[in-house]
Amino acid sequence: MAIVSFLGLGVMGFPMAGHLVSAGHSVTVWNRSSQKARLWTDTHKGQSADSIEDAVRDADLVFMCLGDDPDVRAVAGMALPAMKPGSRLVDHTTASAALARDLHSEAKAHGIGFIDAPVSGGQAGAENGQLSIMCGGDEADLAHAEPVMQAFAKAIVHAGPAGSGQLAKMVNQICIAGVVQGLSEGLHFAEQAGLDSQTVIAAISKGAAQSWQMDNRWKTMTEGEFEHGFAVDWMRKDLRIALDEARRNGSRLPMTAMVDQFYAEVQALGGGRWDTSSLIARLKAADAQ
C-alpha cells in the first residue's frame, strides 16, 4: 500500500483517484471546489484535505490532473515545497513540454522526482481504469510510481526524458484530430450520396479505414449525440499546445491547424462542451443553411 494524494477531481481525476482507493492505497484528495472533494470522499470513502500542503505532506506519490499550464504551475508551486524529500510528483495533465521540463528541474531542487504523464482514453478510460499513459522523466522515478499507476492504466510507456510524455500526447491529439475529421467527412459523404451509413460502416470497418473512433462513435455522430466526455474546449487547448510546440521545433502541421479552426466553428455553434466527435456538426450545419 502506498500513501498518495490526488490533486484535481475533474471528469478524469475523480475516477482515477477512486481507482487508487479500490487498489488499496491510502488516498488524500484536494480539489479547488471543496464540494467536489466532499462528493469524492462520500463516494470512495477516502479523505480530503483543505489545502494542497496538507494533502501532500505525508504522501509518497502526489498525482495531479488539472486544466492547463497555469493551473499546473500554480498547484505544483504550492505542492513541491510541502512534499517530503524522496517523494514523487506525477502530472497527468495535458500541458506543455516546456513546463514539464521546468517542473522536473524544480522538483529535483527539492529532492523530489517528477514525471509528466498525460493520459489518453477519455472519461470512459478513466472510469474503467483503462487509460494509456505516456511518461517522461527519470526511469527510477517511473519505476517507483508505475505499480501505483497501474490502478487506472491499461498501458504505461516511458517515452523518454522530462517533457517526452507531453510530446507523445501531442502526437496522440494530432492523430485523433485527423481521424475524427476524416470520419466526419466520410459519414457526411455517405449521407449525401444516399447510402445507408450502417451498411457502409459494416463494409469498411473491417479494413484499412477501421479506427477506434469509427467503432465507437460513428452511430452517435450520425444521430447528433455528442455527450461522450472529452470536450471540444479541451481539445482546442491540446491542439494549441501542439501547434505552439510545432512552431518551436519546425514541424509542419497543416491538417492539425485546419481541424483546430473547424473545432472553433463547432464552438461558435455552441458546442464547446460537446465531445470531439462533434466535428460532423459543422458539416450538418452547412447543409442546413
- Label the pairing between strands 47-48 and 26-30: parallel
- Whether the CA torsion 15, 20, 24, 27 is positive or negative: it is negative
- 143's CB contacts (< 8 A; 6+ apart) are none
- How far is residue 166's CA from residue 170's CA, in Å, rounded to a whole number? 6
Q: Say if residues 134 and 165 touch (Cβ distance below 8 Å).
A: yes
- How far is residue 165's CA from residue 96's CA, in Å, rounded to a whole number? 10
**Residues facing 48 on adjacent strands:** 29
Q: Say if residues 29 and 9 touch (Cβ distance below 8 Å).
A: yes
Q: Which of 173, 285, 182 is nearest to 224 (CA)?
A: 285
Q: Which of 112, 129, 5 is nearest to 61 (CA)?
A: 5
Q: Say if residues 17 and 27 touch (Cβ distance below 8 Å).
A: yes
Q: Which three cell numbers stand for residue 233?
A: 474546449
**Residues facing 88 on adjacent strands:** 61, 113
**Which active-site residues does the annotation give?**
169
- How far is residue 207's CA from residue 193's CA, in Å, rounded to a whole number? 21
- Kindly state the DSSP code that residue 10 receives in the 8-state scheme: S
Q: Say if residues 103 and 72 touch (Cβ distance below 8 Å).
A: yes
Q: Which three cell numbers stand for residue 199?
A: 451498411
